[in-house]
Amino acid sequence: MKATSRAFKANARHALGDPNLQRAMVNLRTGFAERRAHAVAQLPEWEELREQAVAIKKDALAHLDFYLEAFEQKVIANGGQVHWCRDAAEANETVLAICRRLGAKTVTKGKSMIGEEIGINDHLAANGVTPVETDLGEYIIQIRHEPPSHIIAPAVHLVKEQIAQSFRETHRDLDPARPLMDSRQMCDEARAVLRPRFLAADVGITGANFLVAETGSSIIVTNEGNGDLTQTLPKAHIVLASLEKVVPTLEDATTILRLLARSATGQEFSSYTTVSTGPRRRDDADGPGEYHVVLLDNGRSALLGGEFEDMLRCIRCAACLNHCPVYRAIGGQSYGWVYPGPMGSVLTPSLIGIEAAGNLPNASTFCGQCESVCPMKIPLPKMMRHWREREFQRHLPPPAYRLGLAAWAFFARRPALYRLVADVGARVLGVIGRGRGRFRALPLAAGWTQTRDMPAPEGRSFMSLWVERQSQRKPR
Amino acid sequence: MTEKPRVALFVTCLVDLFRPSVGFAAVKLLEDAGCTVEVPRLQSCCGQPAYNSGDRHSAQAIARTVIAAFAGFDYVVAPSGSCAGMIKVHYPVLFADDPSTADQARELAGRTYELISFLVDVMKVERVTARYDGVATYHDSCSGLRELGVKAQPRRLLASVAGLTLKEMRDCEVCCGFGGTFAVKYADISDKIVGEKTDNIRASGADTLLAGDMGCLLNMAGKLERDGDPTKVRHVAEVLAGVAGPALGEPGDGA
């Protein structure tokens, strides 16, 4: 996927002016944040579980090579295959080669962020294989030719009228008289279209929430059951997974699963949790003939041992998005690449480079809400700050901003001089502003005063008044 | 009687420049609590704007002046969760690559507090003698809340203010959109966030908005004023100390 993160500000402005998006984003709070709070409150061992989950992932990352090789051996023993892919191109070629070998015409897909990251749909389509998204949200954005705006609810930026309209434009057999007023009716319509697609697909592609080293299994969680139909009906099941998805044991996976759905949607568990261990065995009534795991690095191994390693603990629950005031204001597409919100602001520069993603680590108020809700206790603000430091070292912030910062720092690090300037500044601003009590326009803060007043200073600096009053208090 | 604790007031740049009355309110509250208050002259800023802009070098230089200015006091107290959090939580991290300064930073961090939590948690203040006739709502500023655990302390003291009723707003723990330079760099996003905040303030039915951080207060007051909203905006210390000058953004005669 081509990144437009450099145009973040313009993207955000567009999103702020989009009434449908603004209406849709209100649902985020009631639909996700409030339900999460309720689910967490119901679980007394929440903090303990977080600690356990962090320890599991830390161990997995510390011995990543060991667990991945153990995982591969188990997959092979189960009759499957692991494909180690350094980057998006290798992963795309691997998937395409399997599809070609099987003569695949259509491919069904469960929701996969790795699929978005490598742009698998475009690659398959360009090579004559038709990808069909089967997760309702992904299906909606596929027919609208949009990128996802959220990592678990890709169409969360849309209102139902937009979705109904897209169905009417795309579904040729749809009776114009058929009502598409509510989510039930729209689900039925999508189901009617997708059922034959499941049966016709030659290959099914899913993501993975976990890879289990102990058993060689991949695990997905869904609420629609589409993942199961995607992976069990076709000739081959291809799992797209990045390498940090591995955990040592099934027990470890279930520990983290207790955090995942609660953090994501406020459910205790997702409707479907599906464990896939190899292709169909001789006695199995059904299942895919082949089982492939496309194991993607794409820059992740370079994060190991560095200041961004903690990011590899992320389980893609999206709690940080749902609680981020910036994300809630502008939606996910503004971020301009696959991963939006706080986790994206750390991960995107890690994967596509800080030059391409520069705005993202800056677009945070550092309110800390993301870190406080993160089930894996990832210090997201700290890592955004690390990115800002790297940007600063490489002179990437705009010259005017650097100059302003340098001028301010020049005084701030010289307190005696700073005192003089602050005293004068307080007096000048006070004299100009105290009649009204506020400024309606300030030259250096035009962005602020475009929509907000700036309260005027009282007219003297505290320090100068303090010195004056002290000398009155204790005459010498 | 044990000797009074020597407390240094870290004024913070925004209080120094915009609202000295908050500084004097802080001094009064600390003295009423039994502290001897001093204000080291050679203080400027905690360095947070540099730190959060990725300018680690300037942040370290500024932090060194703070460490020097506040050496030797029993406690350092700031009328801001954000600035106190910078010293208490971030200074030790800032000097991770400089062990000797890191020790001093940790030592300073250990005796640095946000004003209201210092009064309640350290000085064991249970009530104040102030009076304020009004209905107030309290915004939990992010750094104070999430870095320092400032939540119950201001509410406890506000409950003892005669004439004051506290009405909680929806999402009182959600950021107001200030975020330091964020408010200028990403002004339109910041405005959207503060707009939701002021909607919640209005819906609470309060006539007064209180918080413990000048940055957030300037942002919320500026938005309320632009919208012609009559809600009065004050730092919580002003109300607890019974200081009654013009509210933020109201015309005044100057200090």
A12: nearest CA partner in chain B: B189
DSSP conformation class of A394: T
Which pLDDT value is given to residue A31? 84
Please tell me the pTM assigned to this model. Answer: 0.96
- pLDDT higher than threshold 50 for residue A427: yes
Mean pLDDT of A26-34: 86
Backbone angles phi, psi at B138, to 5 degrees: -115, 125
Task: Mark out the alpha helices in A364-414 (DSSP H runs).
Answer: 369-373, 380-393, 399-412
Regions of chain B short of the pLDDT cut 70: 1, 253-255
Q: Which of A59-68, A96-105, A318-327, A353-362 has the lowest average pLDDT?
A: A353-362
Predicted confidence at residue A460, as pLDDT, reads 94
pLDDT score of A347: 97
Sheet strand arrangement including B162-166: B162-166, B131-138, B208-211, B232-235
Instruction: Look over chain A and give the mean of its residue pLDDT values, rounded to a whole number.
Output: 95
Query: In order of start, what are the domains of chain B with their CATH numbers?
Result: 6-121 (3.40.50), 126-241 (3.40.50.11810)
Residue the block writes with tokens 């994501």? A264
Give the per-residue pLDDT at A227.
94
In chain A the domains, ranked by start, together with CATH numbers, are 5-302 (3.40.50.10420), 407-473 (no CATH)
Q: Are B166 and B159 in contact (CB under 8 A)?
A: yes
Query: What is the interface size between A and B, counted as CB pairs within 8 Å?
Result: 233
Q: Do B186 and A445 touch (CB under 8 A)?
A: no
B251 CB neighbours in chain A (<8 A) are 434-437
Question: Residue A107 above 80 pLDDT?
Answer: yes
pLDDT band for A424, please (50, 70, 90 cuts). Answer: very high
Check A413 against B185: CB less than 8 A apart.
no
CA A98, CA A439: separation in Å to the nearest integer? 65
pLDDT digits 0-9 by tens, A220-247: 999 999 999 999 999 999 999 999 999 9
Q: In whole angstroms, give the CA distance from residue A474 to residue B203.
A: 48
pLDDT beyond 50 at A393? yes
- Top residue of B225, B232, B248, B253 to mutate, by most chain A CBs within 10 Å, is B225
A163-186: average pLDDT: 92
Task: Provide ipTM, 2 decimals.
Answer: 0.96
**B200 to chain A, closest Cα gap in Å:** 14
Q: How far apart are CA B193 and CA B209, in angstroms?
A: 17
What's the confidence (pLDDT) of residue A473? 75
Mean pLDDT along residues A152-156: 96
Rg (alpha carbons) of chain B, rounded to whole number: 18
A474 pLDDT higher than 80: no
pLDDT of residue B253: 55
* Segment A456-462 mean pLDDT: 94
CA distance A440 to chain B (A): 8
Q: What pLDDT sits at residue B254?
A: 44
Task: Tell me how far apart the alpha carbons of residues A335 and A26 are, in angstroms, rounded to a whole number.
Answer: 19
Per-residue pLDDT of A93-106, as tens digits, reads 999 999 999 999 99
pLDDT at residue A476 is higher than 80: no
Interface touch B23/A456, C-beta < 8 Å: no
Contact A325 B250 (CB under 8 A): no
pLDDT, position A446: 85
- Both tokens of A404, joined, read 């302003």
Are B183 and A456 an interchain contact pair (Cβ–Cβ within 8 Å)? no
